[in-house]
Amino acid sequence: MQHAIYLVVADSSQANIYLTDKTLGTLDLVVEQAHPSSRLTRAELDSDKAGSANSAGRGYHSLGGDSSSHQHESEEFARNIGKFLHSEHLAGKFDQLLIAAPPHFLGDLRQHLSPDCTRVLGKTVNKNLLRVGDAAILEHFV
């Protein structure tokens, strides 16, 4: 499909990937991906992690790593979206990529885009547009 555009609207727990063309007239949903783990509370995410220990009068210290569980889940979801987009681009499904996501997740997505997808990346919008209609989404890219 010539001049096919994939428009990704995402946050750390959901992504809608639409197909449109250079006129940006309509959005056709290609896939909706969900990452339920990103919605879990920190206690739920950390339930299987290392605990804490008392340190001889100096209080309690974590025995796990320093990275946030939510950040890990966000990066995992961004990695999955990046892999999907890479395979779709290799299959010739789109010529240009547009992305709308909250600033932090947009950074995660950019980090996990393949070089091929990065080359066709057009406009990005630092905003969560998941809860708005198609017309409102398109307004940000016209």
Report the SS3 class of residue 27: coil
127 has pLDDT over 70:
yes
By three-state DSSP, how is residue 23 classified? coil
State the architecture of 5-38+66-139 in CATH terms: 2-Layer Sandwich (3.30)
Name the one residue in this structure whose structure tokens are 């025995």: 63
| Per-residue model confidence as pLDDT tens digits over 61-93 | 444 444 576 678 889 999 999 999 999 999 999
Q: How many helices (H) and strands (E) does the chain have?
A: 5, 7
- What pLDDT sits at residue 5? 98
Residues 6+ apart with CB under 8 A from 16: 8, 9, 10, 29, 31, 32, 33, 130
